[in-house]
Amino acid sequence: MSNKLEISRRSLLLSGAVGAAGLAVSSLPFGRALAAGSLSVGFIYVGPRDDYGYNQAHAQGAVALKKLPGVKVTEEERVPETVDVEKTMESMINLDGAKLIFPTSFGYFDPYVLKLAKKYPDVTFMHCGGLWKEGEPDNAHSYFGYIDEAEYLSGIVAGHATKSKKLGFIAAKPIPQVLRNINAFTLGARSVDPAITTQVIFTGDWSMPVKEAEATNSMADQGIDVVTCHVDSPKVIVETAEKRGMFTTGYHANQAALAPKGYLTGAEWNWEALYPSFVADVLAGTTIPHLVRGGLKEKIVKTSPYGAMVGAAARKQADAVKAQLEAGTFVIFKGPIKDNKGNTVIAAGVSQGQTDIALESMSYLVEGVIGSTS
C-alpha cells in the first residue's frame, strides 16, 4: 500500500512538471476529474473489433454503452495477453480515469486482472470468461454465457438441413468451452436423427485463416454439408462454406451477411443487452455478483434469425426447445450420455443443468462426434 502511495505521489509531481512544461495535463481530452454521475469505461479486445466474431460481439456491447448518457468509452484492440494488457488497463486507469474496465479476453484474467484489481480497489473489472474464485479481489468480476444453449438450437437446425447426415465443426483448441459447444451442437443434431455425426477439426489456434479454409474444404471433400465453428473470427469459414455450397451455422456474432444462401442460424453473444446493466449497477453503486452467468433465459446469449432456407419442421422443433430453454425447463446434458469412445460420461437419470460445475471441466466428446480431445 505504502508503495502505491509513493508512486502516485511521484506521478503527481511528474505530471505537475509536465504541466509546467507546457504539455498541460488539462489539455488531455478527458482528465481524471469527471463530472458526478459520469463514468469512463475501458474496453480491451484481443483481436480486431470488426472481426465478425468474438471481438465484434464485445464491441457491439461497447457500442451499446456509448449511447448511454454520461458514459465515456475508450477502446483498445489487438492487445496480447502479456504485460501489454496489464499496462493497457493501468493506462486506462491512470491516463483516462477509467473506473470500469472490460478486459474481454479469457487470458487477461490471471495474472493481469487479479494483479490490478488488488492495486486499484476503486476500479471495477468486468472480465469475460467466468473465472472468479473465492478469495480473489472483490472488485474483480467475471461473466460468461451458456452459449451451448444456442449451439444446441443450431444443432437442431443443422440436423434438419443435412442430407449426408454429416456435420462439421472447426474449432481452435480442445478446451472445455469448445468441447461443450461441440457436444451441445451434436446432441441437438442427434435429437433430430441419431444417425448424424459431427466431424471435428482442431486448427490449433484462434485465428488461422488458411488452416480454417483448408479445414472447411477438406470437410466438403468428405461429404459434410453443414459446417459450424468455434474460432475467433468465423468469417473465412462461413465464406468458404458458402462457396462450396454448404450450410453454415454461425458463432459469436451474426454472419448472415456473409452467406445469404447457406447461413441457417447461429449462436451469438448478447453483450449489448448485458453491458448496460453492468454500467447501471456501477453508477448506482449496486453490488454486482462476482460471477455472472446465464443463457437464453438471462438474455446473455441469443440465436441469429433463421435463414430463409430453414424449413418449417426445423423452425418448429428449435422454437419449441428454445421456449423451454428460456423457461429454464430444458436440460441439454441429461443422462444417459456416452462419449465417443463408448464410456458413459453422464449416467442415466443424472441431469447436469447449466450451473453444474461438472460441465466446466468437460473433457470428452459425445457419441457421434468424430475426433479426439488430444
Partner 1 sequence: MNSDLVLRFGAGAKVFVVSLFAIVLSLIVFGIFVVLSGVNPLDVYRLMYVGAFGSWFSWQNTLLRSAPLLLTALCTALPAQMGMVIIGGEGAFVLGGLAAAAAGLLLSDMSVPALIVQGAMAIAGMCAGGAVIASAGALRHLRGVNETISSLLLSYICIAVLNQMVEGPMRDPTSLNKPSTRALPDWAMLGNIPGMDIHVGLIFGLLFCLATYMLMFHTTFGFAARMVGGNVRAARMAGLPVGRLILIVTFLGGAAAGLGGMVEVAAVQGRANATIASGYGLTGILVAFLARQNPLIVIPVAILLGGIDASGGLLQRRLDMPDASVVVLQGIIFVILLASESVQEGINLPGWFRGIKPRSSAVAVAEGAE
Partner 2 sequence: MDETSIGWWGVPLAIFAGAIRISTPFLFVSLGEMVTEKSGRINLGLEGTLIMGAMSAYGIAYLTGSPWLGVLVAGLVGTIFGMLHAGICSLPKVNDIAVGIALMLFGTGLAFYLGKPLVQPQAPNLPSFNFGWWSDLQQVQSALKINALFIIGVVLAPVFLWALRNTRWGLILRIVGDSSDAARAMGYSPLAVRLVATAFGGFMAGVGGSFLSLYYPGSWNEGLSSGQGITAVALVIFARWNPMNCLWASLLFGGASALGPALQSVGVTQGYYLFNAAPYVLTLLILILSSSSHRHIAGAPGELSVTR
User: Rule CB under 8 A: which residues touch partner 2?
Assistant: 47-48, 50-52, 78, 164, 166, 199-204, 207-215, 217-223, 233, 235-236, 239-240, 243-244, 257-258, 370-372, 374
Q: Which is nearer to partner 1, 44 or 167 (CB)?
A: 44
Q: Which is nearer to partner 2, 15 or 218 (CB)?
A: 218
Beta strand 226-230 with 71-76 is unpaired
Q: Any idea what DSSP says for residue 342? A: S
Nearest to 185 by CA among 248, 124, 135: 248
Q: Which does 134 bind (CB under 5 to 8 A by kind): partner 2, partner 1, none?
A: none
How far apart (Å, rounded) are the C-alpha atoms in residues 222 and 203?
A: 17
Residue 152 beta carbon to partner 2: minimum distance, rounded to whole angstroms: 24
Our measurement of the distance from residue 4's CA atom to the centroid of its chain's CA atoms, rounded to an integer in Å, reads 34
71 within 8 A of 41, measured Cβ to Cβ: yes
Nearest to 324 by CA among 284, 304, 297: 297
DSSP-derived secondary structure for 351-368 = EE-TT-GGGGG----BTT
Residue 164 beta carbon to partner 1: minimum distance, rounded to whole angstroms: 31
Beta strand 333-334 with 351-352 is antiparallel
Q: Which does 276 bind (CB under 5 to 8 A by kind): partner 2, partner 1, none?
A: none
- Positions in the binding site for partner 1 (CB under 8 A): 3, 6-7, 10-11, 13-15, 18, 23, 27-29, 42, 74-84, 87-88, 90-92, 94-96, 106-107, 111, 129, 173-177, 204-205, 360-361, 374
Q: Which is nearer to partner 1, 27 or 343 (CB)?
A: 27
Q: Which does 218 bind (CB under 5 to 8 A by kind): partner 1, partner 2, none?
A: partner 2
Q: Which is nearer to partner 2, 90 or 239 (CB)?
A: 239
Q: Which does 149 bind (CB under 5 to 8 A by kind): partner 2, partner 1, none?
A: none
Nearest to 43 by CA among 69, 28, 64: 64
Beta strand 263-269 with 301-303 is antiparallel
Residue 67 beta carbon to partner 1: minimum distance, rounded to whole angstroms: 17
Residue 128 beta carbon to partner 1: minimum distance, rounded to whole angstroms: 11
Rounded to a whole number of angstroms, the CA Rg of the chain reads: 22
